[in-house]
């Protein structure tokens, strides 16, 4: 089998995000980039599939500028057999539609049986790319996947997490696209042997312009830091004073 | 122009999910409250009852798409069923709730309709008849204003962002039924598994003390159990990252994908307030939040805000509670 895992490098520097007035985009500071957490679960799931099926190869692909190489390398260190970098030098907003069309253009003649993505990216939180790849390739798909297993040689059984703690159980024929929810597994740390192998191995670089992929279908006209509008009251004073005040409120409202 | 917004209703086995009326409210804002421009589409197997309810409650026209393959929600069958009808209607906007069904469906639908797709919309800006959409990034630390550049746009509406629409006209909408042409699908929804509860069901608790990533480590959960002990009919819940870290079972998770709760008191400890979590506690009567970050989104909805480290604050709170009990 061939499994493709789509990974995104995201910028998550903690709580102190600022906007770069020159680019009208997030101000990127060094050290803030890492693999999207949801994609790590997707990669781990791919590696688990590889471990329980014969002759399975896992490829990790990322779209983005030169900095994205670090994420692809990391995926190889975690155990991906190949790393693919679709080189796309545009910074700023790259829509799920645009990213999905590059992935679909790359994947369409590569005979992948399963394409995995994280359920969303921690930065844009769009929850779109997997479904769009599936739509473009006309593959069946499932999102928020919390469990998957081989049903027959040609199909997968998956459970997707739904509202109010219910699960939808779906059978999908392969090839298919699954977008993976957090908590499905425990992503592994790179092993020494994989780190050494990844160091030797070259990343396959493919220029985005080689593909006849579509551009964004929507435009981000601005990003901004929201003003927090507190609805309630902030308790004041020392810890002990706040505690006493809170107990007074709880008592007044007959909770204690 | 007429009928140029389509709302996709959400239901489970013909019980209309009330979130549908929030999507309708968003659609009304997009067409300056002109009901005649909205069609509500409900895909299913036997949808008569649900279609009637929507037509009565909203006063809008309802199109029921009936097919045996639509018995349960299935992304592929839904996309196939909806594509034909939506291509006929050629709506400017297709509006869905941002739920596990809505976000699953919307992007694939957008591909088939050659539409743009904007998810988890929280607000709309109007500028000379043009719309732009406000949505959050990075768990609400940033927001983006997005403008579609296509004739048709699929949007999903963040739960809680609009108040459910009610029928102001008193009219009841017309219902038409269509049988969509769905060819063989490559996927099949086998069943829907509902959660089975062991012990206390947090959704039925009157007081919920809830843990977020900010508790730092599993051992600190004891502080929350101690706190929960001072209330009657209480339970300890948590946000998703706490489950992902393996500190608590998923059955304790509060939020859209976990339990949607409406307790009398929700005591959020170290919870930053991701949207999906906040949406799940909208029904709480009183919310208390303890967090070290004064900008945490949870403070936007809490009634009482405590900017403190919970590992220091909760022990002090318990000490004060004991003192209070002794002195009566």
- Asked if the C-beta of A127 comes within 8 angstroms of chain B's C-beta atoms, the answer is yes
B291 pLDDT band (50/70/90 cuts)?
Answer: very high
Q: Do B142 and A19 touch (CB under 8 A)?
A: yes
Q: Which residues contact A180 (CB under 8 A, 6 or more apart)?
A: A38, A41, A42, A45, A116, A117, A118, A119, A145
Q: What is the DSSP letter of B75?
A: H
* B3 or B220, higher pLDDT: B220
CA B259 to chain centre: 11
B328 pLDDT band (50/70/90 cuts)?
Answer: low
Q: How far apart are CA A28 and CA B253, in angstroms?
A: 33
Give the helix ranges, DSSP H, for B10-137.
Answer: 19-30, 48-58, 75-89, 102-113
Question: Which of A243, A244, A245, A249 is most worth mutating to test chain B (most B CB atoms within 10 A of its CB)?
Answer: A243
Q: Do B104 and A123 touch (CB under 8 A)?
A: no
Q: How do residues B198-230 score in pLDDT, each as one tens digit?
A: 667 788 899 999 999 999 999 999 999 999 999
Q: How do residues B27-51 score in pLDDT, each as one tens digit?
A: 999 998 888 899 999 999 999 999 9
* B169 or B176, higher pLDDT: B176
CA B204 to chain centre: 19
ipTM above 0.90, yes or no: yes
Q: Which residues contact A152 (CB under 8 A, 6 or more apart)?
A: none
Whether the Cβ atoms of residue B27 and residue B38 lie closer than 8 Å to each other: yes
Strand-by-strand arrangement of the B265-269 sheet: A233-234, B304-307, B286-291, B265-269, B207-211, B234-238
Look at residue B274 and tell me whether its pLDDT is greater than 90.
no
Q: What is the DSSP letter of B259?
A: B
Whether the Cβ atoms of residue A99 and residue A63 lie closer than 8 Å to each other: yes
Chain B environment of A93 (Cβ under 8 Å): 144
Q: How do residues B101-153 score in pLDDT, each as one tens digit?
A: 999 999 999 999 999 999 999 999 998 889 999 999 988 889 999 999 999 99
Mean of pLDDT over chain B: 93
Minimal CA–CA distance to A53: which of A137, A116, A114?
Answer: A114
pLDDT mean values, one per 10 residues, chain A (256 residues):
97 78 85 94 98 96 97 98 96 93 96 98 95 98 97 94 90 98 96 97 96 87 88 95 97 93
């Amino acid at each position: 089998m061939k499994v493709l895992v789509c990974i995104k490098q995201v910028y998550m520097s903690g709580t102190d995000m600022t906007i770069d007035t020159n680019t009208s985009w997030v101000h990127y500071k060094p050290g803030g980039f890492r693999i999207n957490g949801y994609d790590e679960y997707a990669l781990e799931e791919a590696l688990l599939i590889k471990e329980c099926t014969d002759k399975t190869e896992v490829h990790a692909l990322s779209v983005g500028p030169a900095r994205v190489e670090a994420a692809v390398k990391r995926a190889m260190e975690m155990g991906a057999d190949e790393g693919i970098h679709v080189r796309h030098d545009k910074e700023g907003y790259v829509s799920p539609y645009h990213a999905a069309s590059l992935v679909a253009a790359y994947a369409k003649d590569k005979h992948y049986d399963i394409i995995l993505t994280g359920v969303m990216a921690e930065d844009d939180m769009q929850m779109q790319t997997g479904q769009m790849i599936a739509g473009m390739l006309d593959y069946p798909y499932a999102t928020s996947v919390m469990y998957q297993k081989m049903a027959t040689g040609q199909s997968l059984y998956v459970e997707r997490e739904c509202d109010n703690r219910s699960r939808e159980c779906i059978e999908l024929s392969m090839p298919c696209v699954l977008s993976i929810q957090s908590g499905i597994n425990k992503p592994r740390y790179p092993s020494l042997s994989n780190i050494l192998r990844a160091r030797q191995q070259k990343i396959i670089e493919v220029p985005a312009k080689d593909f006849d992929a579509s551009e964004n279908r929507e435009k981000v006209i601005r990003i901004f830091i929201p003003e927090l509008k507190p609805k309630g009251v902030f308790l004041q004073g020392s810890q002990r004073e706040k505690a006493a005040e809170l107990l007074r409120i709880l008592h007044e409202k007959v909770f204690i | 122009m007429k009928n140029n917004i389509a709302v996709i209703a959400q239901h489970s086995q013909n019980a209309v999910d009330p979130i549908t009326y929030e999507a309708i409210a968003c659609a009304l804002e997009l067409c300056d409250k002109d009901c005649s421009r909205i069609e509500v589409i409900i895909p299913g197997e036997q949808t008569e009852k649900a279609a009637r309810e929507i037509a009565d409650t909203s006063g809008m026209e309802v199109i029921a798409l009936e097919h045996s393959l639509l018995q349960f929600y299935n992304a592929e069958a839904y996309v196939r069923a909806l594509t034909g009808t939506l291509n006929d209607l050629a709506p400017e906007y297709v509006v869905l709730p941002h739920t596990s069904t809505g976000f699953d469906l919307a992007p694939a639908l957008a591909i088939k309709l050659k539409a743009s797709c904007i998810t988890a919309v929280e607000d709309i800006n109007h500028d000379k008849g043009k719309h732009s959409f406000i949505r959050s990034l990075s768990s609400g630390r940033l927001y983006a204003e997005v403008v579609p550049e296509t004739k048709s746009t699929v949007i999903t509406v963040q739960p809680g962002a609009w108040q459910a629409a009610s029928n102001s006209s008193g009219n009841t909408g017309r219902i038409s039924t269509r049988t969509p042409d769905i060819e063989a699908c490559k996927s099949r929804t086998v069943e829907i598994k509902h959660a089975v509860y062991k012990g206390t069901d947090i959704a039925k608790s009157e007081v919920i003390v809830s843990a977020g990533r900010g508790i730092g480590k599993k051992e600190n959960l004891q502080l929350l159990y101690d706190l929960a002990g001072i209330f009657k009919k209480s339970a300890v819940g948590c946000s998703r990252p706490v489950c992902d870290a393996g500190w608590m079972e998923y059955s304790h998770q509060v939020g859209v994908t976990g339990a949607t709760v409406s307790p009398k008191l929700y005591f959020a400890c170290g919870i930053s307030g991701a949207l999906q979590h906040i949406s799940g506690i909208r029904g709480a009567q009183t919310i208390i939040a303890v967090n070290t970050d004064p900008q945490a989104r949870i403070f936007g909805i809490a009634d009482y805000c405590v900017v403190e480290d919970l590992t220091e604050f909760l022990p002090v709170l318990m000490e004060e509670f004991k003192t209070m009990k002794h002195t009566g």
